[in-house]
Chain A
Amino acid sequence: MITKQLVAASTKPLLLSILSYGENYGYQIIKEVERLSDGELQWTDAMLYPVLHRMEKENLIQSKWVKRDNGRKRKYYQITAEGVKALEKEQNQWKNVDQVMRALWSKPETELANISIK
């Protein structure tokens, strides 16, 4: 399982990324994340919706209620221009972290020791 802290840190970039493919609703997003992580990331509604609200308040996403054929309603979320910019920033940061980790983990152990000594 992924730790709580990492889940918290990755929620925002993940949400922005998913919504960058097009508008989506809460339950679908949870399923999408679960599918992409092979079940490693399991989000709950109680965690997701407050985050979506916060992001909406920050103007990163916007929402609308859509009435379905069976009379029920569903809330759809959409990324905003500001959200796209935020996503770019997030991507750069994660790529940097990723790059460092890859560099460190791809080296043989002896070299790693040298790095830590320096």
Chain B
Amino acid sequence: MAFRIEQAVKDWRKQLLSNPSIEPGFAEELVASLYDRYDDYLIAGYSKEDAFRKAKEAVSPCLESTCGEYHKVTSRRKFQFSQHPKLFILLPNYIKTSIRHLTRKKFYNAINFLSLVIGLLFTLLAILYIDYETSFDTFHENTENKYRLGREFRSQKYSVYSFDGYYGAPREEQLKQINAIQDIPDIKTACQFYTFGLPELVTINNKELSVENLLETNTPKRFFEYFNWTFIQGNTTSFSSQLNSAVLTASEAERFFGEDWANQEIIGKDLNYNDEAFVISGVIEDIPSTSHYDFSLALHVEKINYWGSRTYIEVADNLSPEEIASRLDANMDKINTPLSTSELFNGNIVQNLTDIHLNSNMLYELKPPGDKTYLYIFGIISGIILLLTVSNYTNLSIAMNASRTREIGMRKLFGAKKPQIVKQFSAESLLLSLLSIPLVYLGLKLLIPEFNSFMNVELWGNQTSDLKIWSYFFGIALLIGILSGMYPALYLGKKKIIRLFKGNLVQNGGSGITTRKAIITFQFTLLIGLCSLTLYVNQQLKYIQNADLGFDRDALVYVNLGEDADVYKTFKNEVLQIPGVTDVGTGSPLGRSPFNQTTYKLGQTDEVFDDAYDIYLTYESVKMLDIETSIPEIIENPEKAPKSIVIINETLKQKLMNRFNLTAEELLQRRIIEEPEYTDEDTGEVGFPFEIGGFFKDINMFSLREEVTPMFITAYKDPENVRWAAIGFDTSNTAQLMAQVKAAYKKLNLDKAFYSSYLSQNINELYKKERRLGSICILFSVVAFFVAVLGLIALTTYLTTLKQKEIGIRKILGANYFQLIKRFNKEYVWLLVIAILIAAPLTYYGVSTWLDSFAYRIELSGLVFIWAALITIFISALAVSLITLKVVRAVPVKTLQVDQ
């Protein structure tokens, strides 16, 4: 048969096209090339057949490799165009199926939804709180180079930077100190100020108001440049160019000038404070609550009216705090000459601005410092709620979706792979958690104001950007969505098709370890842990509130005076007339934060100690406080008492007796020399000597976190300067009493704002954080229980519905309600026992760590765990029993008819 080129090419083309990689266009191209070569070979003298064979070989020596080359082009095209559209095509289907499923099982999904809303709400609340606490001072510019200076003196750390000459330091001395710091190489700027917390009377436009948090500075320009507070009116120059200028915050301006202060001529107005005239030179925005100090009125003064200042520096890049401290120490003779030679001075403390709130606990902090422990506790509790939410969802959706096996089976039959099944179930949980956002938003809007006022914070304030809030919202919602959907999705996605068509995946009450049981045990563990934590914290709080402090905490109320003995006497006589007042005294107030300790030594010995607190109380105060002393006859009759007498506490007495091998009798009348490092230049006398006049039982002057240390009380008769008047009272009508005291105060015509505080209040104030923690624990525990019980109810309901037939048959065979309920509860008892065994050691460890921060604390009793377990078992058994009862009461015939 003659060779026909057309037929040969046709056959070859067919052969090419039989491979899926070769599209018709490609084949045409190869055919064209073949013809070109064929023609060339014919011209070269080959026969038709040979020409074709050679041309074919040249075009495609190996059909497979040719196809392989083309496949590279086609496969790349597939990758570019077909992956994403698949999700696009399927997404509406995923959503449609999700919505269908969500609406089909309304009750269970509503419970899932509710628990998601609550979980999200409280997790977000905790995140916002942690975010708030860790964002202190981060809004300043260049914070990494900004530091606050402090000093170590004796063995205590001071946040106040004292002046050479303390109160008496003139302006020049105060400025010399700050300038000497600024002159150190690599220190770019140094500024100082002091804020006065107690209210002071300020007059503007004949309007007299008491203003809290007054700030005085004599480095005005540097101060405003350093902190960069935003001026609404005026500017830094107007404040710094003239002495006795004043800057108000916006809300203070509103107090004095009314709501439309912005439209008034405020700048240039006179301001009167402490008989001194100031001129208003600006208004700034309010200080954010996340600043480590606060002020409402800044005054540019000649000298700061205090014994030291708050001192801040900005340094060059890459300078470590240790390096700065060593440079400051090396230049101490220029900064504060007497201090540089003092034995008691132990060096400078350099603290980054952003560390002050959470990582500082020095004497005289500006605001009560934050506590990391509380952030951890908060984090843990909200983590527990988050886990409960997620595990609730997981558990319930495994149970519910187990009946959707046929759906999954069908999907798989139509070609769905595991990833697509996973996406379907993830889409459902994501949809549910995203749907919860509007409700969570509303909930937070309602909850946050309450939370803010209770915790004294400003969550979601002006400082928090909306973007941040929303990113938290969506971030947490997505996280919960993904976490909750993950297990059910993976679990159902991996099942074999044949298994999926065999029916329900939930093992009906089997005895093996199932994921569902593991999750329930996990939930029980969390609940018992949280419950016992709450019980412990509140036990400790109760202990603190009722502990014997060594003095009568309800005895008196303090009133600010700050006047000399004459005014005090007048006031005292006035107040003593008021019915219900038992006595009036004065001296150092109790129930406060630790202050500076003093050095001392026992006469005729050389060892100097530096751990004593020295307080002054008039005889009346000692008596009112009911402090137990060894000299009651003197305390009772102040008229006959010596001018003053020093008594030492039990701790100091024991310390000296042990150290120097003395008896109590030998210790009496021995000399103690306070501040032996000081020598009077005129008389040559060393320190401040006194004789031990008696002893007193230890008192807890500070919070019970602090150990009782050695202490002197100087009991005295006639005060000279009286800062606080202590009024003893014996009445329950304190409101009326205080009104009368205030009237007496007014009579004195002092140029001061009246300020009073009950001793009991002061003491309570010391435990503010702890009390807040206690209440928050209770709140979060209740929420956690609620979430867990919701989950348990839903799960039990579902499982009992599945077992309707079993219950029906059992009833027919004679089982009574009690037996059936017992059967359903029994399953949980073992889980609960395991949960106790896991929760107890963990909680024990956590709570002991927290309690270690208290010098005086409760003993941890294991009984609490039993209580926690009982509470958990009671609540869960109640939920399970009620739900089971509902199913058990159904008529067996009906349930047996149901085709599942």
Contacts and interface: CB of A to CB of B under 8 A. Distances in A.
Interface of A: 25-28, 44-47, 49-50, 53-54, 57, 65, 72-75
Interface in B30-65: 30, 32-33, 35-37, 58-62, 65
B69 A26 contact: no
B28 A73 contact: yes
A75 B29 contact: yes
B1 interface: no
A47 B69 contact: yes
B232 to A, nearest CB: 56
Interface in B66-88: 66, 69-70, 72-73, 76-77
A26 B32 contact: yes
B33 A27 contact: yes
B898 to A, nearest CB: 61
**Dominant SS among interface residues on chain A:** helix
Contact of A27 (B36, B70, B72): B36
Interface residues on B, range: 20 to 34
Given A45-B58, A45-B59, A26 B29 contact: yes
B60 A45 contact: yes
Contacts of A53: 26, 73
A67 to B, nearest CB: 11
Contacts of B76: 54
Most buried by A among B29, B36, B37, B66: B29
A86 B655 CA distance: 90
Contact of A49 (B26, B36, B37, B62): B26
Nearest to B36: A27
Give the 3 A-B residue pairs with the shortest CB-CB distance, closest first: A46-B66, A27-B36, A45-B59
Contacts of A57: 73, 77
B72 A50 contact: yes
A57 B70 CA distance: 14
B30 A45 contact: yes
A8 B33 CA distance: 21
B33 A26 contact: yes
A73 B9 CA distance: 14
Nearest to A44: B61
A112 to B, nearest CB: 40
A26 B26 CA distance: 12
A102 B483 CA distance: 61
A56 to B, nearest CB: 10
Contacts of B60: 44-46
B65 A46 contact: yes
B8 to A, nearest CB: 14
A72 to B, nearest CB: 5
A72 B69 contact: no
Given A45-B59, A46-B65, A54 B73 contact: yes
A101 B69 CA distance: 32
Nearest to B77: A57
Given A45-B60, A46-B65, A53-B73, A72 B32 contact: yes
14 contacts: A25-B32, A25-B36, A26-B32, A28-B36, A44-B61, A46-B60, A46-B70, A49-B26, A49-B30, A49-B70, A54-B73, A57-B77, A74-B32, A75-B28
Contacts of A75: 28-29, 32
B32 A49 contact: no
Contacts of A27: 32-33, 36-37
B30 A72 contact: no
A25 B29 CA distance: 10
A49 B16 CA distance: 14
B69 A50 contact: yes
Nearest to A56: B73
Contacts of A50: 69-70, 72-73
Contacts of A72: 32, 35
Given A26-B29, A44-B61, A46-B66, A74 B72 contact: no
B69 A46 contact: yes
A45 B72 contact: no
A49 B65 contact: no
Nearest to A28: B36
Contacts of B26: 49, 53
Contacts of B33: 26-27, 45, 49
Contacts of B35: 72
Interface in B271-308: none
Contacts of B59: 44-46
A25 B28 CA distance: 13
Contact of B32 (A46, A47, A73): A73
A74 B73 contact: no
A43 to B, nearest CB: 11
Interface in B365-417: none
B22 to A, nearest CB: 10
A53 B22 CA distance: 12
A47 B66 CA distance: 7
Contacts of B30: 45, 49
Nearest to A73: B32
A47 B72 CA distance: 11
A21 B358 CA distance: 74
B36 A74 contact: yes
Question: For A25, A27, A45, A65, which residue has the most chain B Cβ atoms within 10 angstroms?
Answer: A45
A57 B65 CA distance: 22
Nearest to A30: B33
Contacts of B65: 46
B65 to A, nearest CB: 6
A50 B68 CA distance: 10
Contacts of B58: 44-45
Nearest to B65: A46
B73 to A, nearest CB: 5
A101 to B, nearest CB: 30
A72 B6 CA distance: 11
Most buried by B among A27, A47, A72, A75: A27
A72 B26 CA distance: 15
Contacts of A26: 29, 32-33, 36
A28 B37 CA distance: 10
Nearest to A52: B29
A72 B35 CA distance: 8
Contacts of A65: 28
A15 to B, nearest CB: 15
A93 B371 CA distance: 62
Task: Find the residue from A26, A46, A57 having the highest chain B CB count within 10 A.
Answer: A46
A28 B36 CA distance: 9
A19 B61 CA distance: 26
Interface string B237-279: 0000000000000000000000000000000000000000000
A74 B65 CA distance: 23
B466 to A, nearest CB: 43
Contacts of A47: 69
A15 B794 CA distance: 70
Contacts of B77: 57
A50 B37 CA distance: 19
Contacts of A46: 59-62, 65-66, 69-70
Interface string B566-582: 00000000000000000
A58 B59 CA distance: 25
A100 to B, nearest CB: 31
A105 B32 CA distance: 44
Given A28-B36, A57-B73, A73-B32, 13 more contacts: A25-B32, A26-B29, A26-B33, A45-B33, A46-B60, A46-B61, A46-B66, A49-B26, A49-B30, A49-B33, A57-B77, A72-B32, A74-B36
A46 B33 CA distance: 11
Contacts of B29: 26, 49, 75
A27 B36 CA distance: 7
A75 B58 CA distance: 18
Nearest to A66: B32
A74 B29 CA distance: 7
Q: Which of A49, A57, A75 has the most CB of B within 10 A?
A: A49
Nearest to B30: A45
A65 B25 CA distance: 10
A4 B58 CA distance: 18
